[in-house]
């Protein structure tokens, strides 16, 4: 299946198709507007939301500042409780570690809890190449997997699908992967959920290996936390003998008490719930003697870097690592609503994807160089972010990296990026405009020329201006710029009919 | 009181009527308005497109032109937010790059003394009823940088509600971006247009004659979308409504 995003076109091209797909736009509009309104209500219930947001931001910033110390503490705690910790510098290393761990169990299939980290590294595809089949068990991930599709939302990967499409996918594809869809399946939510339940239950009961991510890792106790709505995650976390958790290194929290903040802000921001229906926590393994924790029989934690320490090295961009993957920014973003999640060419779409992906992957590819521009900088994402990531600030910072280049850290080394190709004309125009704007006489001459020739102006523009005039009329240039009126009338004092 | 009008390059070049309206309005309220002729552009387009190093000289130029005034008033939420929100950030970045505090110190006076028009009216002059008369149905679009950047809150609405003859109609999805976003309108024209079309559709559903906002850049995009769609609605800058009186009504 095509779960990865290799070779994606730049954002504007990918968005073009989505904008003109009426079904997709309808699905997205309906889904984002519904959750947007619910989230606003859930947040309004808490009188201390602003304080919780500030606390979340501070806890995350503190943790990131001392990440090395807390990661070592976590490793010690997980190990003491009977788990095994593995360190993965990049996607390839993480995939290899997981594949080897699965092979060592003698199994050739695994069940998966919904996980952004394993999507990010393309784990399912890597396992398939090793002859291991990974079954997604989250309902939306199941729809994406059966539909040979890509996720388009952090929390609701199949947000771009409606019920009719899901029914068709179940009918057509379920038999390929296990128990077929019931005869005469309709598109009512209850029937669709029951079909998925029957299909998945067989897999839960058979699987010997589970693979998960984690929403949080607690350094002081070595505890991992997964929050979810369906209970499928809990089945994967408790039924298999071996659990392999792949988690980004930034998901750490220093203490158990810190959870207090995020278990309030995450569910309200993501699903507009006061509390997640399922909160699962596990520490190490359950059969490791006196020191044992309460996890599965065998537990492996794969700590994933994959560009995170490089991101941490950037003073402005590092705030993206505060993200708790709630997806509130996606649901409120007017660009995401029209362009759809696939246009972002990453498992992290929307505003957070536009700042996270070009940092984790670098800005060398067309898609990654275009992502910082996939925003009108309206600021709605910053307003809803429960850890106060100033996404517009990071977007502009990354734009600067694309057009001007500059120092960055890649794979732990300081390098100086050259300006990206394809911006030469824009750069020249910006320089020329800066020159004119620092010479007021030049600006004035230009304005006068535009006013005098106004009857000759074409209704549509050539070159890059076509992007404007293809869909919007240009304003008419006035007969006289303001500054000429000001000078001619002495600020309106000598003009007839102007009040004083 | 004597203030400097920072009109913005877009208004100066394309929307001189807005500038004349601000002068008329402030003069009527007893404020002496000056228009420093050397003013040009705040550098927002440069900064937001990633050309921070091209924007810095424009910020310095702004500071040279406006540094001596006790108040600087602008009829643009986004250009006002550029000065107030992003100039300090440029100063911080310059310091982080080892260029000392010079830029921050140079910009500090203009950062503190720059007001968006509705802030100046409500907070500094302390008026919400500016004696305006505008007998039309109006719907109000709070622009993103005014709403979320400067936090203008209900100031523009309070000013509109006090206008004699004006009927204010709620705009559905008012707080959603119109899709302009400076160079975003060119770089992502498809998405920008889709956002604009939705904004116009929402505006038309109100049945109002006029769509009002306090930023002509957004109105240029919305208005251009309206005329292309053959809409009868007119985009009008807030200043032109507030400047309108029974004696001299605006069109």
Determine contact: B100 vs chain A, CB below 8 A.
no
Convert the pLDDT of each residue in A302-348 to its tens digit: 999 999 999 999 999 999 999 999 999 999 999 999 999 999 999 99
Would the CB atoms of B16 and A450 count as touching at under 8 Å? no
Is the Cβ pair B50, A434 closer than 8 Å? Answer: no
pLDDT single digits (tens) A347-365 = 999 999 999 999 999 999 9
Distance in angstroms (rounded) separating the CA atoms of residues A304 and A308: 8
Q: Is A278 exposed, middle or buried (0-12, 13-18, 19+ CB in 10 A)?
A: middle
Backbone dihedral angles phi then psi of residue A9, each to the nearest 5 degrees: -70, 165
**Under an 8 A CB cutoff, do A475 and B224 touch?**
yes
Report whether pLDDT(A449) > 70: yes
Would you call B77 an interface residue with chain A, using a CB distance cutoff of 8 Å?
no
Task: For residue range B126-169, list pLDDT tens digits in order.
Answer: 999 999 999 999 999 999 999 999 999 999 999 999 999 999 99
Phi and psi, residue A216, nearest 5°: -145, 155
Residues of A with CB below 8 A from B28's CB? Answer: 499-500
- pLDDT category of residue A463 using cuts at 50, 70 and 90: confident
pLDDT at B38 exceeding the cut of 60: yes
Of A29, A54, A44, the C-alpha closest to A333 is: A29
Nearest to A481 by CA among B8, B175, B120: B8
- A498 — pLDDT class (breaks 50, 70, 90): very low
Cβ–Cβ gap A376/B9 under 8 Å: no
Q: Is the pLDDT of residue B101 over 60?
A: yes
Using CA atoms, how far apart are residues A376 and A369, in angstroms rounded to an integer? Answer: 16
> CA A189 to CA A259: how far, in whole Å?
33
The CA-atom distances, in angstroms, between A203 and each of A6, A195, A231, A292, A330 are: 30, 13, 14, 28, 32
Q: Which residues of A touch B193 (CB under 8 A)?
A: 19, 471-472
**Considering the entire predicted model, what is its pTM?**
0.95
Token output for A359: 């940092």
ipTM of the complex: 0.97
Determine, for residues B27 and A12 on separate chains, whether the beta-carbon distance falls below 8 Å. Answer: no
Across the range B171-184, mean pLDDT stands at 96
pLDDT value, residue A453: 85
Average pLDDT over residues A435-463: 84
**What's the count of helices (H) and strands (E) in chain A, helices before strands?**
23, 12
Q: Cβ contacts of residue A4 below 8 Å, gap of 6+?
A: A122, A125, A150
Distance of alpha carbon A405 from its chain centroid, rounded? 24
Q: Are B206 and B171 spatial neighbours (Cβ–Cβ below 8 Å)?
A: yes
Given a cut of 70, whether residue B117 has pLDDT beyond it is yes
- How buried is B133 (Cβ within 10 angstroms: 0-12 exposed, 13-18 middle, 19+ buried)? middle
Residue A500 pLDDT level (bands cut at 50, 70, 90): very low
Interface test with B, best of A14, A18, A334 (most B CBs within 10 A): A334
Distance CA B167, CA B155 (A): 16
- CB atoms near residue A147 (< 10 Å): 18
- Six token digits for residue A237: 């976390």
Given a cut of 70, whether residue A478 has pLDDT beyond it is yes
CB contact under 8 A, B45 and A433: yes
Mean pLDDT of chain A: 93
Strand order across the A298-304 sheet: A84-88, A298-304, A242-248, A209-212, A109-112, A133-136
Closest A-chain CA to B150: A379
Residue A456 confidence (pLDDT) = 80
Condensed to tens digits (0 to 9), the pLDDT of residues B18-31 reads 999 999 999 999 99
Contacts of residue A374, defined as CB under 8 A and 6 or more positions apart, other chains included, come to: A11, A15, A335, A339, A343, A344, A354, B188, B191
Q: How is residue A410 annotated by DSSP?
A: E
Q: From the list B9, B51, B187, which residue is nearest A430 (CB)?
A: B51
Q: Name which of A170, A92, A135 is nearest A1 in CA terms.
A: A135
Please judge whether B248 and A497 are an interchain contact, meaning their C-beta atoms are less than 8 angstroms apart: yes
Angle of helix A11-19 relative to helix A22-44, nearest 10 degrees? Answer: 100
- Beta strands A406-410 and A413-417 are antiparallel
Mutate to test the interface with B, among A434, A435, A454, A468 (most CBs of B within 10 A): A434
Q: Report whether A344 contacts A358 (CB < 8 A).
A: no
B87 contacts in chain A (CB < 8 Å): none
CB within 8 Å: A376 and B179 = yes
B126: which residues sit within 8 A by CB, 6+ positions away? none
Using the Cα atoms of residue B178, residue B184, residue B186 and residue B188 in order, give the sign of their dihedral. Answer: negative
Interchain CB distance below 8 Å, A380 and B12: no
A111: part of which helix (H) or strand (E)? strand A109-112
- Does B40 sit within 8 Å of A438, measured CB to CB? yes
Q: Give the number of other CB atoms < 10 A from CB of residue A463.
A: 7
Q: What is the Cα–Cα distance from B42 to A395, expressed in whole angstroms?
A: 20
Q: How many angstroms separate the CA atoms of A105 and A127, rounded?
A: 14
Using CB atoms, pick whichever of A15, A492, A497 lies closest to residue B191: A15
Q: Could you tell me which chain A residue has the CA closest to the CA of B179?
A: A376
A151: its two tokens: 């996720």
Strand order in the sheet with B32-34: B32-34, B2-5, B72-74, B114-116
B7, B27, B134: which is closest to A498 by C-alpha?
B27
Instruction: Give the separation between CA A74 and CA A258, rounded to whole angstroms.
Output: 15
With a cut of 90, say whether residue A31 has pLDDT above it: yes
Could you report the per-residue pLDDT of A46-70, keeping only the tens digit for each? 999 999 999 999 999 999 999 999 9
Indicate the Cα dihedral angle B61, B67, B73, B78, nearest 10°. Answer: 40
Residues A98-126: what's their mean pLDDT?
97
From A454-458, A481-485, B74-78, the region with the lowest mean pLDDT: A454-458
């Amino acid at each position: 299946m095509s779960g990865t995003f290799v070779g994606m076109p730049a954002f504007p091209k990918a968005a073009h198709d989505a904008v003109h797909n009426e079904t997709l736009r309808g699905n997205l509009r309906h889904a984002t507007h519904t959750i947007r309104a619910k989230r606003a209500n859930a947040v309004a219930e808490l009188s201390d939301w602003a304080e919780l947001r500030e606390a979340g931001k501070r806890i995350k910033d503190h943790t990131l500042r001392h990440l090395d110390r807390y990661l070592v503490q976590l490793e010690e705690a997980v190990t003491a409780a009977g788990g095994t910790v593995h360190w993965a510098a990049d996607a390839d290393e993480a995939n290899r570690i997981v594949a080897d761990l699965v092979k060592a169990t003698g199994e050739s299939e695994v069940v998966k809890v919904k996980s952004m980290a394993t999507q990010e590294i393309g784990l399912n595809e890597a396992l398939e190449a090793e002859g291991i089949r990974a079954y997604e068990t989250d309902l939306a991930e199941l729809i994406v997997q059966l539909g040979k599709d890509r996720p388009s939302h952090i929390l609701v990967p199949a947000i771009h699908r409606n019920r009719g499409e899901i029914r068709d996918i179940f009918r057509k594809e379920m038999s390929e992967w296990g128990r077929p869809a019931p005869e005469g399946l309709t598109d009512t939510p209850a029937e669709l959920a029951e079909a998925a339940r029957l299909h998945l239950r067989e897999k839960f009961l058979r699987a010997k290996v589970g693979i998960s991510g984690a929403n949080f890792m607690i350094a002081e106790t070595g505890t991992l936390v997964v929050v979810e709505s369906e209970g499928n995650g809990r089945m994967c976390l408790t039924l298999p003998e071996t659990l392999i958790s792949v988690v980004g290194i930034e998901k750490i929290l220093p203490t158990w008490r810190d959870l207090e903040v995020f278990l309030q802000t995450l569910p309200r921001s993501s699903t507009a719930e006061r509390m997640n229906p399922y909160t699962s926590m596990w520490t190490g393994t359950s059969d490791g003697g006196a020191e044992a924790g309460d996890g599965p029989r065998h537990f492996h934690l794969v700590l994933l870097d994959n560009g995170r320490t490089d991101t941490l090295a950037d003073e402005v961009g590092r705030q993206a690592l505060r993200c708790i993957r709630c997806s509130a920014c996606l649901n409120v973003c007017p660009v995401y609503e029209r362009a759809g999640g696939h246009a972002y060419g990453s498992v992290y779409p929307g505003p957070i994807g536009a700042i996270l992906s070009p940092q984790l992957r670098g800005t060398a590819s067309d898609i990654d160089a275009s992502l910082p521009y996939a925003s009108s900088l309206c600021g709605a994402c910053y307003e809803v972010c429960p850890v106060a990531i100033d996404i517009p600030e990071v977007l502009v910072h990354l734009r600067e990296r694309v057009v001007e280049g500059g120092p960055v850290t890649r794979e732990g080394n300081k390098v100086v990026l050259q300006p990206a190709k394809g911006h030469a004309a824009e750069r020249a125009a910006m320089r020329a405009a800066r020159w004119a704007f620092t010479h007021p006489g030049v600006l004035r001459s230009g304005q006068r020329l535009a006013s005098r020739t106004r009857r000759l102006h074409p209704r549509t523009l050539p070159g890059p201006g076509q992007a404007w005039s293809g869909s919007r009329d240009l304003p008419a240039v006035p007969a006289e710029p303001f500054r000429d009126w000001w000078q001619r009338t002495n600020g309106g004092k000598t003009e007839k009919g102007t009040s004083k | 009181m004597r203030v400097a009008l920072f009109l913005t390059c877009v208004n100066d070049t394309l929307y001189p009527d807005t500038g004349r309206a601000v002068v008329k309005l402030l003069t009527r309220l007893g404020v002496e308005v000056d228009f420093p002729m050397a003013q040009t552009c705040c550098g927002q387009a440069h900064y937001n497109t990633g050309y921070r190093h091209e924007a810095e000289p424009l910020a310095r130029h702004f500071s040279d032109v406006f540094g001596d005034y006790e108040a600087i008033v602008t009829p643009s939420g986004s250009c006002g937010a550029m000065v107030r929100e992003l100039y300090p950030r440029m100063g911080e970045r310059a310091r982080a790059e080892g260029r000392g505090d010079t830029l921050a110190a140079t910009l500090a006076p203009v950062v503190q003394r720059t007001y968006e028009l509705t802030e100046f009216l409500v907070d500094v002059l302390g008026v919400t009823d500016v004696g305006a008369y505008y007998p039309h149905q109006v719907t109000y679009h709070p622009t993103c940088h005014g709403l979320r950047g400067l936090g203008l809150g209900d100031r523009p609405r309070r000013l509109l509600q006090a206008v004699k003859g004006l009927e204010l109609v709620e705009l559905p999805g008012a707080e959603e971006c119109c899709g302009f976003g400076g160079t975003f309108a060119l770089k992502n024209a498809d998405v920008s247009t889709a956002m604009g079309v939705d904004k116009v559709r929402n505006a038309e559903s109100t049945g109002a004659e006029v769509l009002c906002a306090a930023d002509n850049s957004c109105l240029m995009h919305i208005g251009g979308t309206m005329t292309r769609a053959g809409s009868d609605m007119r985009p009008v800058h807030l200043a032109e409504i507030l400047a309108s009186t029974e004696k001299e009504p605006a069109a």
